[in-house]
Amino acid sequence: MRDRILRSLEGHLRVAQSLPGACAAPLEAAAGEVVACLRGGGKLMTMGNGGSAADAQHLVAELVGRFRGERRALPALALTTDPSVMTALANDYGFEEVFARQVRAHARPGDVVLGLSTSGNSENVRRGLAAARECGARTVAFLGGSGGRLRGEADVELLVPGDETARIQEAHITLLHVLCELIDDALGAS
């Protein structure tokens, strides 16, 4: 048991130590996109599957609520949270379309659509990003490993080095928290 603990913690540290070099510049670009969107009256939409869905929802909760301090509620929607919509779309259009259909309903130029996929191979996230571009929205992708099929599909990509889903998810939540800090800094959290 001790060996498993040490391997997991050491793996976490390796990925965490790679983040400044791998993700600082794209995270700054992602923050710029989101801040410009929110300042301009747009909204942020997020999407992902499984743990990435939870991270997408977590980000929205921090923005609609608060992260560090008081500020206005920020317009953000997690496209993963309405089971009636998700199941109707999956039933009628296939699971690959559950995000794209919602993006087409809600996205406008000036909005940002942010997708998370640890493997980079989530077809529904890929189609959601494509739909965002069709609508004139900007796109951000939080990916892992090689970036999979989603590599090159977003305006801004944060690619976490690593091949273990858990370590990539840990890095994603850290990066999302830093994104929240940057948004709060820019939009006046007290």
Tell me: the pLDDT tens digits for 130-144?
A: 999 999 999 999 999
Amino acid at 150: L
Domain at 2-187, CATH homologous superfamily: Glucose-6-phosphate isomerase like protein; domain 1 (3.40.50.10490)
**Residue 190 banded pLDDT, cuts 50, 70, 90:** low
Q: In this structure, is the dihedral angle defined by the CA atoms of residues 17, 189, 39 and 112, taken in order, positive or negative?
A: positive
Helix, strand, or coil here: 68? coil
Residues facing residue 44 across a β-bridge:
76, 112
pTM listed for this prediction: 0.97
Q: Where are the domains of the chain?
A: 2-187
Helix, strand, or coil here: 91? helix
- What is the tens place of the pLDDT at every residue in 21-74? 999 999 999 999 999 999 999 999 999 999 999 999 999 999 999 999 899 999
